[in-house]
Amino acid sequence: MALSDINRAAVISAIEEFDRRGRDAFLQQHGFGRSRAYFLRFDDKLYDSKAIIGVAHGYLEGDWGPLPATQFNGGEATVAENLRTLGFEVQVTAIPPAAAEPGNISPKGFAYWWVNNKQTHSHEIGGNYLWSPTVRTDGARNEFYENMKRVRPGDVVFAFAGGEIKAVGVCAAPAILAPKPREFGATGDAWSNEGWRLPVEFTRLRRPFRPKEHMEVLQPTLPDKYSPIQPNGNGNQGAYLAAVPIAMADAVIDLLGTRWAEIDFGAISKPTYQAEAFEASEDAVEQELRNRTDLDETEKLQLVKSRRGQGVYRKNLVGFENACRITRVANLRHLRASHIKPWRASTTYEKLDGNNGLLLSPHIDHLFDQGFITFTDDGSLVVSKESDADTMIRWGIEPEGNYGPFRAEQLPYLAFHREFVFRQ
């Protein structure tokens, strides 16, 4: 049977089952994910529209059984249209109901971070950047270094050194892979020569702030894990860049008092400024490539060309992908060769690896590159809560569509995109 055969009574039966089981149990029982854009509103409650339609199919006469999620797409042209035809209200939103915000994300959408950079403070604050290795000296993952990839343009960074917050910065562009700054000298001799460099516009405070003098206020707000400072106000050894919970950030800002007004957020928060900072960061990566002595001129040229989806990288990609996954446009003249793991954050090998790419129509490339959409491993589209639902509809993008599974070689790159590029 077709979706158009589903009647109002079957939908209400599915709603009743949803209420009996509860949302999570209902979705798990029938194999559906949470809706991210389209919700059925009924009796002042929101229901996952695609799941309701799929389960409603099983309540039709004839014992047809529920429709599996993989057999149909949700969205405007299918589920939403059918529900409206049956007299139901469909709410279109980019924000899932009852979604939990990450602990360091402010109501305005930017995050708070704390850097302990005693050894490199003067270089980093003076140079308007942060730099860390990618992994620990033993090769193990380090949460404080991983955070470098999580910082977004507009995020706020408290800079702590010598027992004081001496500066506050605003991130200007995403992190890039870059050599250890020469000005570090012998500092960090044990660190690898390549790491994460994060552009941050710092403002030095005219009067530094000493957390140790206010721990009766700050101590209850410290995170249980990966705290940048100890309950006594001293910095945590080994903690470089840490997430700052909203309660802790609010307390610090209150204690800074008039010093908070010294921070200039205006220009740095403008999209044009961030776009220029982003371009400058990638230019810096390109310049470093051109200066390398371990690569011949042909290798350098191919790596530079890959920045814009050209040369060997594009040829490698076309061997795996033959059309835009969402629009299905196959004419290569109208498609961009987009890196899944961004070029700025990719190693030399990853910059040219065809598995690290998708052929995308220009408007889809924009959404993917900026983190407004991503994909699950099985090809389901995931839409950020920051996405504009009206734009998605006008561009003909079904927020709950499935566009085919990815190959195993692509999955590590997709995992990076979901964690560090996608706007949660």
| Mean pLDDT of the residues in the chain | 89
Higher pLDDT, 388 or 305: 305
Higher pLDDT, 93 or 260: 260
- Same structural domain for residues 126 and 233? yes
| H helix intervals, 133-225 | 143-150, 215-218
- Same structural domain for residues 38 and 118? no
238 inside domain: yes
Place of tokens 């994300």: 105
- Which range (91-105, 361-375, 403-417) has the least confidence? 91-105
- What is the model's pLDDT at position 24? 84
- What is the model's pLDDT at position 103? 79
State the pLDDT confidence band at 299, using cuts at 50, 70 and 90.
Answer: very high
- Same structural domain for residues 86 and 170? no
pLDDT tens, 12-66?
A: 999 999 999 898 889 888 888 777 668 899 998 999 999 999 999 999 987 778 9
- Same structural domain for residues 298 and 406? yes
- Same structural domain for residues 310 and 247? no
105 inside domain: no
162 inside domain: yes
SS3 73: coil
pTM above 0.85, yes or no: no
pLDDT tens, 124-180?
A: 999 999 999 999 888 889 999 999 999 999 899 999 999 999 999 999 899 999 988
- What is the model's pLDDT at position 31? 84
Phi-psi region of 314 (alpha: psi -120 to 50; beta: other; left: phi over 0): alpha
Residue 74 has pLDDT above 80, yes or no: no
State the pLDDT confidence band at 101, using cuts at 50, 70 and 90.
Answer: very low
283 inside domain: no
Query: In angstroms, rounded to a whole number, what is the distance separating the alpha carbons of residues 10 and 3?
Result: 11
343 inside domain: yes
102 inside domain: no
State the pLDDT confidence band at 89, using cuts at 50, 70 and 90.
Answer: very high
pLDDT tens, 372-387?
A: 999 999 999 999 988 8
Identify the CATH number of the domain in which residue 174 sits.
Answer: 3.10.590.10
What are the DSSP calls for 257-269, one per residue?
A: GGGGGG---TTTT
- Same structural domain for residues 304 and 341? yes
Residue 95 has pLDDT above 50, yes or no: no
- What is the model's pLDDT at position 163? 95
189 inside domain: yes
Query: In angstroms, rounded to a whole number, what is the distance separating the alpha carbons of residues 359 and 333?
Result: 11
- What is the model's pLDDT at position 68? 85
54 inside domain: yes
Q: DSSP strand E in 49-193: where?
A: 89-92, 112-116, 129-133, 156-161, 164-171, 176-179
Q: Could you count the other beta carbons within 10 Å of the beta carbon of residue 222? A: 19
- Same structural domain for residues 220 and 363? no
- What is the model's pLDDT at position 349? 95
- Same structural domain for residues 257 and 385? no
SS3 47: strand
- What is the model's pLDDT at position 36? 67
pLDDT tens, 310-327?
A: 999 999 999 889 999 999
- What is the model's pLDDT at position 1? 61
- Same structural domain for residues 140 and 264? yes
Higher pLDDT, 180 or 99: 180
Residue 97 has pLDDT above 50, yes or no: no
- Same structural domain for residues 220 and 191? yes
Query: Total structural domains in the chain?
Result: 3
> What mean pLDDT comes out for the span 196-225?
93
- What is the model's pLDDT at position 267? 66
Question: Counting Cβ atoms within 10 Å, is residue 408 exposed (0-12), middle (13-18) or buried (19+)?
Answer: exposed
pLDDT tens, 168-207?
A: 999 989 999 998 888 888 777 778 888 999 999 999 999 9
Say if residues 176 and 285 touch (Cβ distance below 8 Å). yes
- Same structural domain for residues 167 and 79? no
Host domain of residue 229: 112-272
- What is the model's pLDDT at position 71? 79
> What mean pLDDT comes out for the span 5-13?
94
Query: In angstroms, rounded to a whole number, what is the distance separating the alpha carbons of residues 287 and 159?
Result: 28
Say if residues 212 and 233 touch (Cβ distance below 8 Å). yes
Contacts of 237 (CB under 8 A, 6+ apart): none
Higher pLDDT, 62 or 94: 62
- Same structural domain for residues 379 and 255? no
